[in-house]
Amino acid sequence: MSGTTDQQELPVSSEAPVDPDDVKIGYIGGGSRLWARNLTKELALDETMSGEVVLYDTDHESAQRNEEFGNWVQEREDAVGDWTYRAVESREEALTDADFVILSTQYPPTESMKYDLEIPQEYGIHQAVAITSGPGGIMRAMRTIPVYRDIAAAVREHCPDAWVLNYTNPVTYVTRTLYEEYPDINALGLCHEVFHAQELLAEIVEDQFDVPKPSRDEIEVNVQGVNHFTWVDEASWNGHELLPVVEQYMEKDGVVREYTQSELEDTSHSMHPGFQDNNQVTYELFKRFGVLPAAGDRHLVEFATWFLQEDMPEDLNRWGVLRTPSSYRLARWDDEADTVQQFMDGEKEFDLSETGEVITELMEALAGLSDMRTHVNLPNNGQMLDAPEDAVVETNAVVTQNNVRPIVSGSLPRPVQTQVTQQINNQETIIEAAFDGYDVDYAFQGFLNDPQVKTLQTETARDLFAEMCNALQPLLDDWNLGESETLNESPKFDLE
């Protein structure tokens, strides 16, 4: 790795020590359908810390279900951790004196998922995920920012020294909001996409070096960018530089190829329709720009929008990417609500095994039990050169007791930096609009600058924005919709 990685920038740190034998985790979004299960597994398999997980959710019934499930897992013979779970009806009770605050919410899933995906499609914008960028990602940010301003204020009041671990999407917007509302917060934006890139590199090592597949932890990467649009300009394993090896691997028959829609929709993928990443977008971007994307192809195409042009969905499918339909998302949301009950009733087999998340390792390091290096999303204090100060960026960091110190990542090649900077500026525009009186017209400027929206005429983009705001009015109460010139000049908006 280059010399940039041993320069370290201003840390995020707390003065409040964590007692590993008496940890309080306040979980906001404690009725989580999926991520709470992962947390429960990881805690049950960890012997180094113990304590209480206090679950708060506006859907108290879901939090109660996760309380029952968490305690059920702890009673298993193969559970070595010592944790108790408790659902509460007060956010204050969950946060007060918390050592760690976990944020994992979806606000709300049903109406928003449908509108985020289906309205833009009527305008010829075929989003694959719609949670970070594009029309759906921006609308998600607009309805999420007010919620997280309130959460940040509650952290300031009830547990100002706690470590706040955010898994809520859009990660960049949420993390940026937490710091803008409460600058002294100790918050980290966390995502597993870079882990998938390390897994891909590990598979390439196995193939090219004819060795057993190494652990992803053995793959060192220099990460820089924004969440879901991160890039690796240096990678190594056991002293071997890996980016030239990726080039060699791509020359093998069958590695770089085209897919058909029928192939992608084969029944072998029926359990997860639209959740395939076949790395063809990754390989193409690496070929064109010389640095390796470190996010799944479904996310990448929403930033690198060449892949969303021309004849849809065929010209997207040829890259091995399927769009995730809103119908599947809604059905999955309903199905997941029953899963933990089915585990406890014996209707589904429960496997207590590691999930690949690093939540326990992270908490152990912050409690002083170990050190670790991982990737995090934090405001830029110099760790990512050429990025604006305070904008939230994703880079590597060293985690030690009560301290997270970002590692200077260097600079991306100018053509890639151009793409990343555009995303940062759009994200900052939406944040500024929210913190300047929830200015809808200024938010529209960020919306208009999004690469997906730039395929439209300005008046058409206005109508798309207005139609989405119109459909999502109940979730945009904090925004001054009625005072917006942009909305009021569009026939697609009718203030309720």
**Contact in structure between 109 and 74 (CB atoms under 8 Å):** no
Residues 192, 196, 228, 240: which is the catalytic one?
192
**Annotation says 192 is catalytic:** yes
Residue 13: phi, psi to the nearest 5? -145, 155
Buried b (16+ CB within 10 A) or exposed e, 477-489: ebbebeebebbee
Rounded CA-CA distance 432/319 in Å is 36
Q: How far is CA 183 from CA 161, 175, 392, 403, in A?
A: 12, 11, 13, 16
End-to-end CA distance of the chain, in Å? 57
**Contact in structure between 445 and 429 (CB atoms under 8 Å):** yes
Rounded CA-CA distance 15/18 in Å is 10
**CA 251 from centroid of its chain's CA atoms:** 32
Strands 403-406 and 392-400: antiparallel
Rounded CA-CA distance 20/363 in Å is 9
Catalytic positions, written as ranges: 192
